[in-house]
Amino acid sequence: MIDLHMHSTESDGQYKPSELVLMAKKKNLSYIALTDHDTIAGLYECELYARENGIRFLRGIEISVKGNRELHILGYGVDPESQSLLMLCDEFVKQRGLRAQRILDYLDAKGVHITLEQVMRHSSSGSVGRPHVAQALVEVRAVTTVREAFELYLGTPEFDKIERPKPEPGKGISAILNSGGIAILAHPALLKIDNATLEKLVYQLVVDAGLGGIECYYSTHTKEQTEYYLSLAKKFGLVVSGGSDFHGEKVKANIALGTGCDGMLSITEDMVSRELLDMAK
Ligand code: AMP
Ligand code: ZN
Ligand code: FE
Ligand code: FE
């Protein structure tokens, strides 16, 4: 079993990189990748622990780019010392900080009052993500679950108006390629677009920007979706990747490490492209 998509406390995950490695070991995973949102800060710790525990480690990142609300590009095999990647990440942290205040004002206007301190209690890295706000909303009982926080406040069209500026997809992909990595379209089903539109988007990202693969196996993809994404990868000669997007049960309930396809299927080495696994340390 493998898992090439998970988040740590360096972004909006519940567990530290070292804790993720121990959980992966318990589940007997042979390969893992840490793919924190917009940061490579956890890679060193994760790689160290993975090596100590005999797990092959793929350096990763997940970058949010302009366009669809859930348009995320995964980077694998990135160099943690890459200046262009580090500069992009610095900008992300800054924009997330500015957005945090806008989110508090937006909630205030809706009669929901939380403080930055209450939000930051859920972030140990200092980077603020929507899940940290969601957990603060649960804590003050403005909502009962993280999911409800997204449904009512953080995942709405109205929220898009206060969303942070994101780089063009080409810029995000370039930063990944310049750091020696491969760029993969994350969780295509979350884009909620029809297959023809998706195919056009993938084609454009491949030709214009150098996209190299698709995350075909993902915890919430259905069997039909998985098969379609595999056919798309084949059609364009793209690398196939797979991961759960594990964040910890407090952040995203019902997602287990190492699972794809409705959460029912274990992702195994033979499902993803060899050239991807060969980038592991
Ligand atoms: P941000 O990068 O701060 O905009 O937050 C993005 C993260 O929010 C995603 O990667 C998910 O972890 C989380 N997220 C987005 N939509 C939902 C949702 N409907 N329910 C729970 N978590 C969500
Ligand atoms: Zn996340
Ligand atoms: Fe994502
Ligand atoms: Fe993710």
Ligand 1 and 155: CB distance under 6 A: yes
Q: Which of 154, 166, 220, when mutated, tests ligand 1's pocket best, judged by the most ligand atoms within 8 Å of its CB? A: 154
| Residue 248: pLDDT over 80 | yes
Per residue in 37-57, pLDDT tens?
999 999 999 999 999 999 999
Per-residue HEC secondary structure of 162-210 comes to CCCCCCCHHHHHHHHHHCCCEEEECCHHHHCCCHHHHHHHHHHHHHHHC
Q: What is the mean pLDDT of the chain?
A: 96
Task: Give pLDDT tens digits for 161-206.
Answer: 999 999 999 999 999 999 999 999 999 999 999 999 999 999 999 9
- The residues of the chain that CATH labels 3.20.20.140 are 2-88+181-277
pLDDT at 263 over 90: no
Location of each CATH 1.10.150.650 domain in the chain = 93-160
Contact indicator for 202, 185 with CB cutoff of 8 Å: yes
How does residue 36 score in pLDDT terms, banded at 50, 70 and 90?
very high
For ligand 1, what atom is nearest to the CA of residue 151? 19
**Which amino acid, residue 123?**
S
Q: Which residues surround ligand 3, an ion (CB under 5 A)?
A: 72, 186
Among residues 200, 199, 211, 262, which one has the least CA distance to residue 241?
211
pLDDT band at 74 (very low <50, low <70, confident <90, very high): very high
Assess whether pLDDT exceeds 80 at residue 262: no
Tally of CA atoms within 13 A in the half-sphere of 139 that contains its CB: 17
Tell me which fold the domain 93-160 belongs to.
Answer: DNA polymerase; domain 1 (1.10.150)
- Tell the CATH superfamily of the 2-88+181-277 domain: Metal-dependent hydrolases (3.20.20.140)
How far apart are alpha carbons 217 and 229 in whole angstroms?
Answer: 9
13 lines ligand 1 (CB under 6 A): no
pTM, to two decimals: 0.96
